[in-house]
Structure formats: C-alpha cells, structure tokens
Structure 1
Amino acid sequence: MARKRNPNGAGSIWQRSDGRYEARVYVPQPDGTRARKTVYGKTWEECDTKRQELVLRDRQGVPTPTRSARLSEWLPHWLEEFVKPERKKTTYAKYETHIRLYLVPHIGSKRLENLGVADVRRMLAAVTAKASAATAKESHRVLRSAVSAACREELISRNVVQLVPAPRVQVRELKPWDLDQTVAFLEAARRDPLYAAFVLAVALGLRRGEILGLRWSDIDLDRRTLTVRNQIQRVQKELYADSTKNRRTRVIPLPLMCVAPLRWQRLRQAAQREGAGAAWEANDYVFTTRSGRPIEPRNISRSFERIADGAGLPRVRLHDARHGCATLLFAAGVPPRVVMEILGHSQIAVTMNIYTHVTEETRREAIGHMDRMLRRRPVAG
C-alpha cells in the first residue's frame, strides 16, 4: 500500500541505506528565520510521529532550533525571558552576576547539547579557586536552573548539571549576642536617631529591608500590632520598595518595649518634616532621612556596627540580631511555629536549622534536668 503524500511544508519521509527512516521539516528558529530540521526513526511510524510533532510546533509558532544555542546565548536569554518577569530584582541581579562573571567565561562557548559532566566539574573548580566554594555552589544552582528551563523548552533532553554535586560549603558559625550583650547594645543605642529601628530588629527579628520598608499605616500603637508588608532594597543604582522576601504579609504583636521608641520616632520625624518644609518627601515611611527619603540599607548597618564597636561588643551583623531574636524566643519557651510566624519564614526547617543557637545557659539547664531525673537515690538501710 502506497504511503500518503504529505502536504507542502509538512516534510517528507524516506528510508535510508542503513534501514532507518528520515524526515526533514522546515521549522521556525528563535531568531525568526526558518531552517530544515531532520529527525530519524527505526520505523516509518516512529519517524512520522516525530515529523508530526515538528509540524505541530510550527503551526503553534513554537521555535525548534536545528542546533542548540551556546550557553553564552542561552543564559542571557533565560535571564531576560524566564527570570526577569517572575523573580525579584535582587534575584535577577544575583543571577546576572554569576552568569557574567563565572558561567559565561568558563563554559559560555559550549552548546547546550554538548555540555558534559566534565565541563560542569571544571567550571566549579575554577570558580572555587577564583572566588569560594559558596560562590561556586550558587553558580551551580544558577546553571542547573537555566539548563532545566532548556529541558522544559525541549531544547535538550537531559540536565547534566544535576549529575554533578554542588561543592560543599562550610557553614559559617554564628554566635549572636547573649541577653546581657543585647541589653548593653540597646542601652548604647538609646540616643541614636535609629534607636527605634534597632529595637525592632532585636525584639521582633525584622530584616533590614523590612524595617526600612515600614510605613506608619502599618503600625497600630493603640492595639500594639505591626504589619510587615514591604521592604526597601538597593540593587545596583536603584533604591526601590518591594514585597517581602517570601511575598507574604504578616502581623506581629508589638512588645511594650517597642511602643515608646516608636512614639518618640514619630515626634522626632514630625519635627524633621516641619524643618524641611516644602523639601519634605511625603511617603509615610517610619524611618527616613532629614528630607523624608527612604534610608539607604547600608547606612543603617553602618550605624549598627558603629554603636556595637563603641560599646565594646563582639562584631556581628545587623542581620545577626535576627538570629539572636530567634534564640531568645526559643529560650523563653516560645513554640517553633510561633517563632516561624514572627520571623516570616516560609518553612519551619529554616527556623529550626539556621536561626536558633543554643546558649551555654540553655545547655546547662537541659543537663540539669537530666541530672535531676537520672540521679541515683540513696538506698535505704
């Protein structure tokens, strides 16, 4: 029985000298041109199925590259078309840095279909030597995501990056301030213009950007509640307002120790607004410059470090106050789920594994319980 002839543009099938069947179809390319794509099959039916898939993609306007793109082409394309519309600006900026500094220089000349395990290993070794294991691990994650997107787009059939384990990174040992050190810092910061901000960082574990993104409309001092909705971020030359890290809004009860500093901050800001006059930038932010503009994130960190140094305290980051808050909440017996909600984590594992640090006093108290339970009682005579 004679095979039906395919309509124009649908390609054709013939049997090769090696017994396999071959079909060629003109398909659209990512750059808007058209090129001929060849597929093979052990049987006529298998080859015809592949041919029909190409024809269907053509009719749907889906590009089918005849040859996979180089990573130097695919990675920027993935960044602009897949990452930029869906992810935060901070994520986009971080990915762009890894692509520009590490991935393209080391494996940019490789085509997607030719990228091998050895290429990925060499790239990771080079990045580790040039920067650090942590940087190489992040580059691995970026590359894995980009190649996974290429698989979903059916540009390649497998993701070889998943076959290569990411470098092991030695976790930095965090040692947040204990209770006495935390109290000493607050005493030293009492006269600082950002005192209320530091109280919120210590008592509620707010992220730096969340503190700077607070608006007066988010705070109810009478009902003693604070709503975390936004954050202020700096990405390259842009200072902008964004949603929270996990895009979730959370309402936190305000401790009494936060109320008076916030009232003081409102009075202080009112005086600044009056002094600035028409130059004041009205935006309702709780913490602002003398002209009402949002505070640069790096500036609040500098103030935090300056006060800590002046008080003779161990050097920690402002973000470490968040770790200290979690530790103090756990030491006070607050359930892990509640701590998770206060800190705004999306997973309780983050709260348990990263943001809690067992103090010496807590360890001694735990061992004391064991001592009381297991202590051998004297035998009656």
Structure 2
Amino acid sequence: MARGKRSNGEGSVYQRKDGLWIGAAYVLTTTGHRKRVTVSATSEEEAWRKLRKKIADSDAGIPVSADNWTVDGYLAYWLENVATTKRPRTVEGYRAVVRRHLVPGLGAKKLQRLTAQDVRTFLNRLRHDCRCCADKVDAKRPKGERRCCAVGECCGLVLSDRTVQQVHAVLRNALQHAMREEVIPRNVAKLVQVKSPRYDVHRGLESDQAKALLKAARGNRLEALYVLALYLGMRRGELLGLRWSDIDWDGWDEPCGPHREEFCEDCADRCFPSLQVRQTLQRVGRKLVFVPPKTERSERATPLPQLVAEALVEHWDRQDDEAEAADDWEDSGLVFTTPKGGPLDPTYLRSSWYPLRKRAGLDGVRFHDLRHSCVTLLLRLGVPPHIVRDIVGHSAIDVTMKIYASVSLRDKREALKLLTDTLAKL
C-alpha cells in the first residue's frame, strides 16, 4: 500500500537486501548541529516506531551523541578529564575498578545503547560468578593443577557486597557526567539498585583493652602515635601527615603548665596546647603524597589533654636523639618519621602495629579500630555526639552514631536495668 508524501523532518524507512528495515532521519546532536542517524528493526512498523522516538527526543531538546562512544572509550575519557579532580587515592581506586571490572564486563557496549538491564545483568554476574574463573586464573594453570570451575569444583570466591557497590558507584558517577555533557539522555545505572553492605560495628576496644594497649606501647618509638590514635581518634593518614608546625604549644610553659596535677580555671585554655589536622599522607602507586584531609570536617583543631601533650614531648626528645645519631637525617618536619627522618610508609606502620597488638592480647584488631574505640568510649562516657563528631572529624553525625557507635549487650543490660529500677519505685 503506497504511503502518502512524508512531511519535512519525518525521516524515511527502507528495507535492505538482507531483509532488515532501516530508518533514517536528521536529529539534534550534542554539538548543537543536526546529523543523520539510523535505526534498525526486523519489521517496518518497529523501524518507524524507533525512528519517531529519535525524532521526538530531538524535538524535546534531548540530543543524541555526536560521538559514537563505547563504554570503554567514555570511561577512559572520564578518567583522564573528569575524575582527576578527586583525591589521588580515589582516582587510583576508580582506575582499578574500571580496569578489573567495568571494561571486561561492559567495555565493548555502545554507550548510547547501554540499558538498565545490561547493568543489572553485569552486576549479578559480579555478585555470583567465581572470580578465579571469571578472571581466567584457573584456566591459565597447567591442566594438572586446575582446581576450580575448569574441573567442575567452584571455589566460591565471589566479590563482596561492598565491592559490587563500589563498581556500581563508579559506573553511576561516570554515566552521570556523560548525562551532564548530554552524551546520553539518562543515567541507566541509577535505575539499578544494589545490595547495601552490612558494616561490622562491634570493633571498638573496651576500656581494659585500651589500657592494655597503652601499657604495651610504653617505650615504643611510636608510642605517641598510638596515644593520639586512641585519645583523639585520628586516622592513619592524618597521623602520618602530622607536622610539628601543626601543634600550637602556646601556654605550655606557663607557671601552671604541665608539671601541676590540676590546671587553674582562669588560664586552663592557655595551658592546653592544640593540634591542627591540615593534611594526610597516602601511598598512591609507588609514591607517598600529601593530600588535604578526607572531608571539610576532617580539617579540624583539637585541644591536647595533658597526657597526650606529654607523650608528644617525649616523642620530640626521642626524635632529637635519632637526628643526632643519624648520618643523613632528613628534616621533613613531620611528627612521625622513619629512623632517618623521612615520611613513614603505611606498610612500616603495620610492621610496628602487629607485634604491639599481639603483646597486648589484641590479635585481629585493626589499627583503624583505635579510631572506633575513641568514638565508642567517648559516647559511653556521656559525651554529646556532636562533640564526638567534631573531635574525630566525621563528615556527619549519623556516621558517628550508625557506623561507629555499637550497642553491646552490656549497654542494653544497663538501659533495661535503669528502666526496671525506675518502674520498681512506683
């Protein structure tokens, strides 16, 4: 049946020799110009439907991409031109996720044709497929040494919920920028929900464990570092990036200063030194780099209790002795350094931490758990959450309460006992 004359801009549909129907029309692109685009279908009606959708989007001001991006190509562009505004360690993590997961799983797909179903299927594979076989590790082993899916015995090594969430977040962030640049009309990754990981909040030390740790740290060349971590809840990078110039000693030499057991009320503020968190030390690739604190609230000032200040003074004296003994001392200005004065690598800190926690009977406790311990102990002592948040530099108070403030059986028991004692008096 013959069609009537088409209106201007309606486009055209024709059938190729192989039977496939092709629709073509001129539509708006992200450069502001119009170009000819095509759609394909197995029937004429489907071709017209797809073509009219393209034209309707163009008329509504939704452009098509001027570049025929693949997911792989756009992720490379995003990493080099957009993600570099983030912290170096964050960018390093983005690159690892893109290289290990996104490019192998979605890289060959056309960015314009990526669907929510594609993303959901990809994330389900990550969650359920054995990584040993997905990464072809088992297949590369000699035939006699294969011990996983290649011989029908899956090891069950799959990605954690947290890793899958990170992969989804990186893809979502990249597609969000593609949408802002009008490369794609919508962010399909936002249409896919992922399972939230369950955080283990029972990681803080009890008061007797904290005392055992401080006792085990006495005489250690990094004793002051562990004191700061436990009393002030400082992050590892904040401790390693701390400089002597970040500590204000004003008032420390006053007559009522550190050698008195009690501070007078009139000048207590002047008698307490304070500490400023201004930078952190991170390992990025093969380099140690100084970067700003994690969040705006992480850049903070904290008063130093007398015990903490005295630990720093002792550490200063110890560092002076090391400087005199060293032939080539590096004057880095850092509080915690190598025996030769250079920045302290996080791996070196682990070599100090593991033997220390073993002596304290705390096998399995992470160094970061000292930060958790500071928060939990302060909250149990009745310190208001907003003050605890500012001491440790959390970005929001819900981080303080939901992730770090665990509720133990003892806490519940004491709360219920308080209730029963109150009702018993009625």
- Describe the superposition over 1:64-90 as per-residue Cα deviations: whole angstroms up to 9, x where unpaired: 743541111011111111110x20001
Which of 197, 203, 207 in structure 1 is aligned with 2:225?
197
Whole-angstrom CA distance in 2 between matches of 1:141 and 1:25: 30
Whole-angstrom CA distance in 1 between matches of 2:424 and 2:30: 80
For 1:288, the equivalent position in structure 2 comes to 337
Compute the displacement of 1:49 (Å).
8.7
The answer to whether the 8 Å contact 1:24/1:36 transfers is: yes
For 1:227, the equivalent position in structure 2 comes to 276
Q: Secondary structure at the match of 1:354?
A: helix
The residue type equivalent to 1:280 in the other structure is W
Compute the displacement of 1:368 (Å).
2.4
Going from structure 1 to structure 2, the CA distance change for 1:45 and 1:178 (only over 3 Å counts) comes to closer
The answer to whether the 8 Å contact 1:22/1:47 transfers is: no
Q: Secondary structure at the match of 2:174?
A: helix
The answer to whether the 8 Å contact 1:326/1:355 transfers is: yes
> What is the Cα-based RMSD across aligned positions, in Å?
2.9
- Describe the superposition over 1:36-57 as per-residue Cα deviations: whole angstroms up to 9, x where unpaired: 4559889x9997896xx98xxx
The answer to whether the 8 Å contact 1:226/1:251 transfers is: yes
Please report the TM-score for the alignment, with normalisation by the length of structure 2.
0.74
The answer to whether the 8 Å contact 1:215/1:284 transfers is: yes
The answer to whether the 8 Å contact 2:12/2:25 transfers is: no
For 2:112, the equivalent position in structure 1 comes to 113
Whole-angstrom CA distance in 2 between matches of 1:37 and 1:305: 65
For 1:328, the equivalent position in structure 2 comes to 377
For 1:352, the equivalent position in structure 2 comes to 401
Structure 1 position 137 matched with structure 2 position 145: no
Written as runs of structure 1 = structure 2, the 5 A alignment for 1:268-347 is 268-277=318-327, 279-347=328-396
Whole-angstrom CA distance in 1 between matches of 2:410 and 2:30: 70
Compute the displacement of 1:169 (Å).
2.2
The answer to whether the 8 Å contact 1:26/1:37 transfers is: no
Q: Secondary structure at the match of 2:395?
A: coil
Structure 2, unpaired ranges of 5+: 1-7, 14-22, 39-50, 132-158, 253-271
For 2:155, the equivalent position in structure 1 comes to none
Structure 1 position 124 matched with structure 2 position 152: no
Whole-angstrom CA distance in 1 between matches of 2:411 and 2:243: 37
Compute the displacement of 1:367 (Å).
2.0
Whole-angstrom CA distance in 1 between matches of 2:321 and 2:25: 81
For 2:66, the equivalent position in structure 1 comes to 66
The residue type equivalent to 1:220 in the other structure is D
Whole-angstrom CA distance in 2 between matches of 1:120 and 1:38: 25
- Describe the superposition over 1:288-330 as per-residue Cα deviations: whole angstroms up to 9, x where unpaired: 1121101011222332222111222242111011111000100
Compute the displacement of 1:332 (Å).
1.1
Written as runs of structure 1 = structure 2, the 5 A alignment for 1:179-198 is 179-198=207-226
Whole-angstrom CA distance in 2 between matches of 1:68 and 1:308: 55
Give % identity.
36
Going from structure 1 to structure 2, the CA distance change for 1:292 and 1:136 (only over 3 Å counts) comes to same
* Deviates further, 120-129 or 281-290: 120-129
Structure 1 position 263 matched with structure 2 position 313: yes
Whole-angstrom CA distance in 2 between matches of 1:111 and 1:200: 51
The residue type equivalent to 1:191 in the other structure is G
The residue type equivalent to 2:195 in the other structure is P
Written as runs of structure 1 = structure 2, the 5 A alignment for 1:139-154 is 139-154=167-182
Whole-angstrom CA distance in 1 between matches of 2:353 and 2:290: 22
Whole-angstrom CA distance in 2 between matches of 1:240 and 1:262: 24
Q: Secondary structure at the match of 2:406?
A: coil
The residue type equivalent to 1:77 in the other structure is Y
* Deviates further, 182-191 or 128-137: 128-137
Going from structure 1 to structure 2, the CA distance change for 1:89 and 1:291 (only over 3 Å counts) comes to same
* Deviates further, 191-200 or 248-257: 248-257
For 1:243, the equivalent position in structure 2 comes to 292
Going from structure 1 to structure 2, the CA distance change for 1:163 and 1:48 (only over 3 Å counts) comes to closer
Whole-angstrom CA distance in 1 between matches of 2:183 and 2:317: 60
Compute the displacement of 1:133 (Å).
2.1
Greater length-normalized contact order (CA 8 Å, ≥ 6 residues apart): 2
Written as runs of structure 1 = structure 2, the 5 A alignment for 1:206-217 is 206-217=234-245
Compute the displacement of 1:343 (Å).
0.9
Structure 1, unpaired ranges of 5+: 1-12, 55-63
Whole-angstrom CA distance in 2 between matches of 1:27 and 1:300: 51
Going from structure 1 to structure 2, the CA distance change for 1:199 and 1:22 (only over 3 Å counts) comes to same
For 1:60, the equivalent position in structure 2 comes to none
The answer to whether the 8 Å contact 2:28/2:58 transfers is: no
The residue type equivalent to 2:235 in the other structure is R
The answer to whether the 8 Å contact 2:201/2:405 transfers is: no
The residue type equivalent to 2:125 in the other structure is A
The answer to whether the 8 Å contact 1:327/1:357 transfers is: yes
Whole-angstrom CA distance in 2 between matches of 1:46 and 1:116: 17
Q: Secondary structure at the match of 2:72?
A: helix
For 2:199, the equivalent position in structure 1 comes to 171
The answer to whether the 8 Å contact 1:219/1:225 transfers is: yes
The answer to whether the 8 Å contact 2:26/2:34 transfers is: no
Going from structure 1 to structure 2, the CA distance change for 1:337 and 1:14 (only over 3 Å counts) comes to closer
Structure 1 position 100 matched with structure 2 position 128: no
Task: Tell me how many residue pairs correspond in the alignment.
Answer: 346
